[in-house]
Amino acid sequence: MSNTLLILILLGLMVLAYWLGVRRSRRLVAGSGGVRALHSLPAYYGFFTALWCGLPALLVLFLWVSLQPGVIRDLVISDLPEMERALPPAQLGLVINDIQNLAQGNIVSAEVNPAMEQAAAHYQRLQQTGYAASVVVVLSLALAGLSLGWRLITPKFRARNRVESVVKWLLVGCSTIAIFTTLGIVLSVLFEAIRFFETVPITEFLFGLEWSPQMAIREDQVGSSGAFGVIPLFAGTLLIALIAMLVAVPIGLMSAIYLSEYAGAHFRAWAKPLLEILAGIPTVVYGFFAALTVAPFIRNNGAPLGLDVSSESALAAGLVMGIMIIPFISSLSDDVINAVPQTMRDASLGIGATHSETVRKVILPAALPGIVGGILLAVSRAIGETMIVVMAAGLSANLTANPLQSVTTVTVQIVTLLVGDQEFDSPKTLAAFALGLLLFLITLVLNVVALHVVRRYREAYE
Amino acid sequence: MLSVTPDSMGTVTAPAGVIAAGFSPVADDSRAINGTVGDITAIDPRMTARHVNVYYGDKLAINNVSLDIGKNEVIAMIGPSGCGKSTFLRCLNRMNDTIDICRVEGEIRLDDQDIYDSGLDVVPLRAQVGMVFQKPNPFPKSIYDNVAYGPRIHGLTGSKSELDEIVEQSLLKAGLWDEVKDRLDEVGTGLSGGQQQRLCIARTIAVAPEVILMDEPCSALDPIATARVEELIDELREQYTIAIVTHSMQQAARVSQRTAYFHLGELVEVGKTDDIFTNPRHRLTEDYITGRFG
């Protein structure tokens, strides 16, 4: 019997408990006015009984499953011969691993000796006992909970309030999971970044003009010292993001103005979803579009003009990223333009302004904060975008403002630093965390500013 | 061949004021046409509407309305909700053009110019026939910029001082100057409701219109602010022609010289305000004014 089966049995018991709870509540008031004599609807009594049956049992099962391996491990270790118990932790871990493998019939790394076989048998016994105990405890707890919940039911009992408070705590739990996950990610990145800054000074990282993260494996290797100056990476990131915004802002904004102010209902009905399909194209598709179509196109057309275009130019990556961001900007701008009250348009048109004067002098100024907020969100998206630049931007960290040259971005470097086999204690690997932290901080600030701007705008007409 | 003597014609044919759509007319007046009781003409008309039909899609919102709007008079349009009075008002400066499914038939003239003529540019028309809306709708710009908006887009002024003069004059006429003269660069939306509405009136008169249309201008205001706006309407009458839609019969009685009563998209009765309120001739008008419905 596995834990899955146990959980299924528990769920079955909960259904039974629900049914029993509903039945008991109905029976209690059968003679005295029916359901109306109850404080809550019968279903709430059912849910209440089911929760009493299921929740404590599930909690105990969860704790049991998470604690049992540790306890068994300690018991097995305490039973090992003195010689093996004295081993250093890493080797002891190997031994335990072997014992576990032996118990489960897997391949064992070391030679099997009688002491180990004994330990394996011990391990197996302990596990079986533990499992049987958990089944007994959990099931009896479920039944006890069921009968307690069932007994608590009286016509005056406020089952609805109890059930709703459990649901509220469930909601609280779900929302904190997201928060704690974010916090956990930030902290893990932060600690690794701090480890990185122990080897590379933070000033060198932030203000260094050279990026070459190759670390020597042997002492005599050429180019042994890595350089971790982040400036070229950020210059590259900003250059590509700038090109992307130069493409996306005018096109996105103007298409939003056309769609919300000028387009007929019919055109709008099919053009808007079509534009938003752009946002649904996977970025990897944009990536090879940039690498295989746009970049060669720019290079081939640049050559006759006497331009020396790199085959992995910032221009190609930026152009394609801009196209990717167009729907982002257009749909956000469309929303804020539509949020400008019709009375503003009426007022302007009523004075005799033309439609375009109304758009330029009333609607755009009124929607401007919202549009700026949307643009900032798009910038943070452009800075964090990875797939397009991995495929279309280069790897060499050039510090240049020339869009025809190859540049690299923060995200590209993070990918290359972590792809493949890496030593986890080398600055080269840890640098990825420092880069990630910096990127996170920048996009966080951009998002906070953008959301703040957008929220202020929303209040403007109330 | 059927012959009708002049004598029998006089007795058999219905009077010109009979309304076809199931209304029961009362004794009629000579100059009524189109089923409207009373005199639709003005002595010195600035705008004339004849046989106006308005459709929203297939729905007929206004049925065969004819009405004159006289120079330097305030004409009030009253009637229950959905009777078409606002729709009719919005026809007078073609604000209905902004509604895609709206279609207007008939003829509306401003000083002998057909405003629905295909060659007419709607922009100067709206400068000549300004509009004040139900809800105060100042732009989220400064008070000064709100008033200067119209003169700027129409290029009415050559210099900053001229513009300053127009802004001051408009605010003076709207009775708002004393309250805002020290804070012209504050946002217009920061004023109180009544001040906002007077700001909107100032914004409208800044482009020197001939006619001002007001669509329930006081419905969002408190009684004191309403009284200020009503006083203002009375003062503005000397220079402008004003058509006002209102739900308040007291307001119609206070500010207007003529009153038009609309019902279910038809113009039921028009006349001097005093006559309408003291001696309505159509049963529907009487029922509405005496508060039996509406």
Asked if A346 lies within 8 A of B203 by C-beta distance, the reply is: no
In single-letter form, the type of residue at position A197 comes to F
Asked if B153 lies within 8 A of A265 by C-beta distance, the reply is: no
- Considering the entire predicted model, what is its pTM? 0.73
Q: With an 8 Å Cβ cutoff, is B93 touching chain A?
A: yes
**Residue B260, H or E segment:** strand B258-263
- From the list A346, A357, A460, the residue facing B133 with the nearest CB is A346
Beta bridge partners of B213: B131, B243
Beta bridge partners of B262: B267
- Quote the pLDDT of residue B81: 86
Which residues from A are below 8 Å from B125, CB to CB?
352
- Quote the pLDDT of residue A459: 52
- Contact predicate B52/B106, CB 8 Å: yes
Asked if B153 lies within 8 A of A357 by C-beta distance, the reply is: yes
The CATH number of whichever domain residue B240 belongs to comes to 3.40.50.300
* CA-wise closest residue to B147 among B125, B174, B120: B174
In a domain, B261, yes or no: yes
Q: With an 8 Å Cβ cutoff, is A70 touching chain B?
A: no
- Contact predicate A385/A322, CB 8 Å: no
Beta bridge partners of B59: B56
Residue B13 has what DSSP assignment? S
* Sequence-separated (6 or more) residues with CB below 8 Å from residue B147: B166, B167, B170, B171, B199, B202, B203, B206
- Quote the pLDDT of residue B22: 41
Answer positive or negative: Cα dihedral of B149, B151, B153, B158: negative
Residues A257 and A274: their CA atoms lie apart, in Å, by: 16
Beta bridge partners of B107: B50
- From the list A265, A346, A353, the residue facing B95 with the nearest CB is A346
Q: How many Cβ atoms from other residues are within 10 Å of residue A183's Cβ?
A: 11
* Residue B112 lies in domain: 29-136+210-289
Residue A393 has what DSSP assignment? S
Which residues from A are below 8 Å from B126, CB to CB?
349-352
Asked if B137 lies within 8 A of A343 by C-beta distance, the reply is: yes
Which residues from A are below 8 Å from B95, CB to CB?
346, 349-350
Which residues from A are below 8 Å from B137, CB to CB?
341, 343-344, 346-347
In a domain, B10, yes or no: no
Angle formed at CA A297 by CA A292 and CA A302, multiple of 5 degrees: 140
- From the list B125, B137, B150, the residue facing A346 with the nearest CB is B137
Q: With an 8 Å Cβ cutoff, is B140 touching chain A?
A: yes
Which regions in chain B score pLDDT beneath 70? 1-34, 294
In a domain, B168, yes or no: no
Number of continuous H segments (helices) and E segments (strands) in chain B: 11, 11
- From the list A343, A361, A365, the residue facing B133 with the nearest CB is A343
Which residues from B are below 8 Å from A359, CB to CB?
none
Residues A80 and A82: their CA atoms lie apart, in Å, by: 6
First to last CA, chain A: 62
Asked if A351 lies within 8 A of B141 by C-beta distance, the reply is: no
The total domain count for chain B is 1
In a domain, B163, yes or no: no
- Quote the pLDDT of residue B24: 42
Q: For chain A (length 462 residues), average pLDDT per consecutive 10?
A: 85 94 89 83 92 92 90 83 76 81 76 78 87 92 93 89 93 93 93 89 87 69 72 91 94 93 88 85 90 90 84 89 91 88 90 91 88 88 88 84 87 86 78 91 88 70 50
Q: Could you give the count of Cα atoms lying within 13 Å of B139 in the half-sphere of its Cβ?
A: 31
For B207, the closest chain A residue by CA position comes to: A351
Residues B56 and B101: their CA atoms lie apart, in Å, by: 5
- Interface confidence, given as ipTM, is 0.80
Residues B54 and B49: their CA atoms lie apart, in Å, by: 12
Which residues from B are below 8 Å from A366, CB to CB?
139-140
Looking at the complex, report in whole angstroms how far the Cα of residue B95 sits from the nearest Cα belonging to chain A: 7
φ and ψ at residue A32, rounded to 5 degrees: -125, 60
Q: With an 8 Å Cβ cutoff, is B125 touching chain A?
A: yes
- Quote the pLDDT of residue A218: 61
- Contact predicate B84/B55, CB 8 Å: no
Asked if A362 lies within 8 A of B139 by C-beta distance, the reply is: yes
Asked if A347 lies within 8 A of B133 by C-beta distance, the reply is: yes
In a domain, B118, yes or no: yes
In a domain, B280, yes or no: yes
A&B contacts, CB < 8 Å: 69
Q: With an 8 Å Cβ cutoff, is A366 touching chain B?
A: yes
Topology at the third CATH level for domain A227-461: MetI-like fold (1.10.3720)
Q: With an 8 Å Cβ cutoff, is A362 touching chain B?
A: yes
Looking at the complex, report in whole angstroms how far the Cα of residue A345 sits from the nearest Cα belonging to chain B: 10
Q: How many Cβ atoms from other residues are within 10 Å of residue B80's Cβ?
A: 15
In a domain, B154, yes or no: no
Which residues from A are below 8 Å from B123, CB to CB?
352-354
In a domain, B91, yes or no: yes
Domain boundaries, chain A: 3-157, 227-461
Asked if A347 lies within 8 A of B154 by C-beta distance, the reply is: no
- Quote the pLDDT of residue B7: 41
First to last CA, chain B: 49
What three-state secondary structure class fits B54? strand
Residues B140 and B136: their CA atoms lie apart, in Å, by: 12
- Contact predicate B46/B211, CB 8 Å: yes
Asked if A352 lies within 8 A of B138 by C-beta distance, the reply is: no
